[in-house]
């Protein structure tokens, strides 16, 4: 099959699914879509991630099979998280799985359930942070909005229970695209924790997931954000997290990306007003033939803002990963403190990492650092473990796990921390004998 005009197909499909009352954003996005080139390896932002898989079949169709293979609970349940939960199956809300407990100060609404005025209000916000021009998948997402989670925390409200938003993908008989959209708004001095989970039920999915989350953190407010991506290996995932930070606000984000056929995450954080802080920690762990691509963009547009960004990756087998982290200090962003670190471990001779930390500085009174390393497991550390009787295989697992866990052992949300520990340890081997010293009895419960 010759390369098809992906953009045209995407636009056509978006047109069939979109909510007609969102016409302005959709029209604008559709126009942009038709004018956008389809990314190739010559497109800087997609240099190491080939999208030819998207042109071999027509993925721009709606999902048709919503049947579930059984209980989904085990896929998304995080012991100890008992707050509001929204579960989407192939982009549609599954009311039975969801739990919409009423929480003071929290508005948790769905676009499909809104009246005209509510819709109008939300429409005026959508696309403010996730700009149409950002990239092809944001444009498609903007054009195709038919459903959206709107999460708003009122002024001064500090929510105790984390909010879980789960995206489940199931196998489709014909290629399909599933859209997801979320808009999170924290009013001044509020605090909330949002856990976004991406899971799947089947080995062979035949699905492109295109999900965009927009976040506006008000003055003095703080969002604790988790994005846990553990879809099956056949997943084609294009995710975006777009954040606006206002005065003295904070965004703290932990991201986990297990590999897929293609998994791409774009994270944009705008420090719009002074005093904001961004703390971002992420890991990507591709294996087999998987591919993961993380692009982060931190825009320091105002003075006295800080960023602490750390990503780590472990690439096994023939997998490939891409990390591109850009911190852009605008002329007015004096007194910025920004750090970006990216460390990588290659577990095999055939694994690949392309890392590019970038600093672009247009202010003269800032302190910024960035760095990237690529290494193999530390032979000295391995010898140390083996000299204590630990087998070479278990030593490898311990060292790999430690490399990731060093970032994640400080996760403030205990249920997520406990959930991730076995998930991450088992990522390196399915042999439970080799992970038994890393997974504690209390985690396994």
Contact footprint for another protein (CB under 8 A)? 378-381, 383-392, 394, 398-399, 401-407, 409, 437-438, 440-441
Task: Report the distance separating Cα 76 and Cα 228, nearest Å.
Answer: 10
Nearer to another protein, 188 or 385 (CB): 385
**Whose Cβ is closer to another protein: residue 203's or residue 379's?**
379
Count how many Cα atoms sit within 13 Å of the Cα of residue 380 in the half-sphere of its side chain. Answer: 0
For residue 283, list its beta bridge partners. Answer: 256, 312
Count of C-beta atoms within a 10 Å radius of residue 64: 10
Query: What is the spatial distance between Cα 3 and Cα 15, in angstroms, rounded to a whole number?
Result: 22
Q: Enumerate residues 6+ apart whose C-beta is below 8 A from 385.
A: 394, 395, 398, 399
Contact criterion met (CB below 8 Å) for 280 and 312: no
Q: Which is nearer to another protein, 262 or 411 (CB)?
A: 411
Closest distance of CB 375 from another protein, Å: 14
Token pair of 177 as six digits: 């695209």
Nearest approach, Cβ of residue 402 and another protein (Å) = 3
Q: What angle do CA 140, 143, 145 make, to 5 degrees?
A: 105
CA-nearest of 42, 56, 60 to 2 is 56
- For the bound state, the minimum distance from the C-beta of residue 382 to another protein, rounded and expressed in Å, comes to 9
Closest distance to another protein from the beta carbon of 420 (Å): 13
CB of 438 to another protein, least distance (A): 6
- Of 179 and 284, the one with the shorter C-beta distance to another protein is 284
Query: Tokens 């060093």, residue?
Result: 406
Q: With respect to another protein, which residue has the nearer C-beta, 46 or 401?
A: 401
- Residue 296 CB, shortest distance to another protein, in Å, is 22
Please state the length of the chain. 445
| Residues 252 and 241: beta-carbon distance below 8 Å | no
Q: Is the dihedral of CA 407, 416, 235, 43 positive or negative?
A: negative
**Minimum CB distance to another protein, residue 285 (Å):** 14
Q: List CB contacts of 440: < 8 A, sequence separation 6 or more.
A: 421
Q: Which is nearer to another protein, 4 or 390 (CB)?
A: 390
Residue from 175, 213, 218 nearest 194 by CA: 213
Report the residue number, 365 or 441, with the smaller CB distance to another protein: 441
We find the least distance from the C-beta atom of residue 401 to another protein, in angstroms, to be 7
Nearer to another protein, 311 or 403 (CB): 403
């Amino acid at each position: 099959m010759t390369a098809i005009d992906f953009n045209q197909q995407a636009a056509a499909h978006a047109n069939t699914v979109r909510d007609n009352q969102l016409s302005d954003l959709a029209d604008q996005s559709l126009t942009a879509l038709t004018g956008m080139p389809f990314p190739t390896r010559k497109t800087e932002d997609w240099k190491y991630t080939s999208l030819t898989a998207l042109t071999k079949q027509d993925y721009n169709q709606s999902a048709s099979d919503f049947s579930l293979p059984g209980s989904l609970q085990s896929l998304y349940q995080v012991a100890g998280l008992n707050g509001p939960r929204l579960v989407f199956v192939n982009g549609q809300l599954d009311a039975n799985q969801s739990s919409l407990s009423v929480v003071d100060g929290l508005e948790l609404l769905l676009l499909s359930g809104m009246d005209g005025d509510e819709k109008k209000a939300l429409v005026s916000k959508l696309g403010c942070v996730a700009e149409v021009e950002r990239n092809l998948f944001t444009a498609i997402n903007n054009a195709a909005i038919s459903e959206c989670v709107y999460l708003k925390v009122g002024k001064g409200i500090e929510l105790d229970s984390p909010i879980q938003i789960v995206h489940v993908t199931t196998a489709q008989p014909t290629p399909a695209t599933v859209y997801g959209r979320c808009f999170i708004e924290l009013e001044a001095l509020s605090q909330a924790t949002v856990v976004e989970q991406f899971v799947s039920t089947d080995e062979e999915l035949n699905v492109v997931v295109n999900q965009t989350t927009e976040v506006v953190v008000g003055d003095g407010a703080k969002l604790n954000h988790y994005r846990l991506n553990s879809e099956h290996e056949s997943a084609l995932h294009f995710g975006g997290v777009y954040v606006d930070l206002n005065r003295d606000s904070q965004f703290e984000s932990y991201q986990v990306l297990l590999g897929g056929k293609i998994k791409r995450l774009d994270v944009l954080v705008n420090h719009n007003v002074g005093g904001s802080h961004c703390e971002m920690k992420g890991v990507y762990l591709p294996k087999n033939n998987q591919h993961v691509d993380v692009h982060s963009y931190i825009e320091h547009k105002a003075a006295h803002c800080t960023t602490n960004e750390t990503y780590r990756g472990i690439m096994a087998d023939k997998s490939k990963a891409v990390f591109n982290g850009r911190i852009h200090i605008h002329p007015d962003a004096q007194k910025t403190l920004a750090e970006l670190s990216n460390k990588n471990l290659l577990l095999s001779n055939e694994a690949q990492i392309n890392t590019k930390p970038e600093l672009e500085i247009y202010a003269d009174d800032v302190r910024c650092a960035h760095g990237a390393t690529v290494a193999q497991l530390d032979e000295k550390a391995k010898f140390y473990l083996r000299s204590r009787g630990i087998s070479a295989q278990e030593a490898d697992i311990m060292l790999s796990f430690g490399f990731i866990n060093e970032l994640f052992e400080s996760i403030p949300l205990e249920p997520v921390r406990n959930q991730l520990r076995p998930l991450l340890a088992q990522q390196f081997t399915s042999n439970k004998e080799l992970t038994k010293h890393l997974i504690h009895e209390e985690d396994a419960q």
